[in-house]
Amino acid sequence: MEIIQIVAFALIAAFLSMVTREQKPIFSMIIATAAGVIIFLRVVGYLASVMQYLVDMTLQANISLIYLNTLLKVIGIAYIAEFGAQVCRDAGEGVIAGKVEFAAKLLILVMALPLLAAVLETILKFIP
């Protein structure tokens, strides 16, 4: 099971980060960030199968791929922002983490506006 390997790696990285934190805080942050990137790279391959499934379902439902593209971008922004904010928090920069999250929310709102407009147009078509 791959999750066991990921958790074992994460525990080792957390231990190394904890051990180095007192003497060399910068190394502790580098270890934690590198571990996060390695774990992400380990599971990113699964995204291809998920994306293919979503594309197939979108085509089967006869929905424009533009909506799926927007949805995937929003999900990507959310995950990247969460990772960046966590790295900032691990470095003791909670204020910067908050700004990363705010920026992500704003970007998601901007990207969602065309979807919202399409939903409203569809609703208005049903109202006499």
pLDDT tens digits for 45-84? 888 888 889 889 988 988 888 888 898 899 999 999 999 9
Indicate the domain borders of the chain: 1-43, 62-128
Give the predicted TM-score (pTM) of the model: 0.75
Q: What is the pLDDT of residue 9?
A: 96
Q: What is the pLDDT of residue 51?
A: 85
Burial of 61 (0-12, 13-18, 19+ CB in 10 A): exposed
Is the pLDDT assigned to residue 19 strictly greater than 90? yes
